[in-house]
Amino acid sequence: MYETLPIKYVEDGVRLATGGWDMKFKLAVQTIVILLFVSFPARANKSRPFFLRTTVTMNGVEVPAGLYDLSWESNNSGVRVTLWKDGRFFATAQGTWVKNGVKYSGDAALLRVNSDGSRSLTEIRLAGEKKTIVLENIEPVLQLGAKSR
């Protein structure tokens, strides 16, 4: 089955088919390029390998010990850190950049030991930086107190 296209004549007797496959093909290619562009994950401002010596909890997610790709995206003093393992997303958390007077000589993870013995990642120190990433604590904290009368 064939489609009939209107023909438009231009200078020197050259014929152009309007509304035909060329325009549809260009539109399809443009659409595919746009979809491919937006489907790839946005890469962070910076990243580096980051080693966790023990299993930790980050933003409510249990992260096993191992080597990860740590990436971060800064927005003024706010920062979003993300851990990747073998090119796949693992965990993310919001934090704040906090200035420090001393440049860190190596990467470090500051952990909080919870009452059940588990460890929560609270701070990330990056080698060569004079600031640290303090992660926001979203885990509920139970506080018990005497009832006042």
Global pTM value = 0.62
Count of helices and strands (H, E) across the chain: 1, 11
Per DSSP, what are the bridge partners of residue 13? none
State how far the alpha carbon of 69 is from the alpha carbons of 43, 49, 51, 146, 147, in Å. 12, 5, 8, 45, 47
- pLDDT at residue 48 in the model: 93
Can you tell me the distance from the alpha carbon of 69 to that of 59, in angstroms, rounded to the nearest whole number?
17
User: pLDDT value at position 106?
Assistant: 93
Check residues 59 and 40 and name the one with the higher pLDDT: 59
Higher pLDDT, 74 or 45: 74
Asked if pLDDT for residue 11 goes beyond 60, the answer is no
Give pLDDT tens digits for 71-91.
999 988 899 999 999 989 999
| Contact yes or no for 27/14 (Cβ under 8 A) | no
| pLDDT-above-70 percentage for the chain | 68
The candidate with the shortest Cα–Cα distance to 135, out of 98, 88, 104, is 98
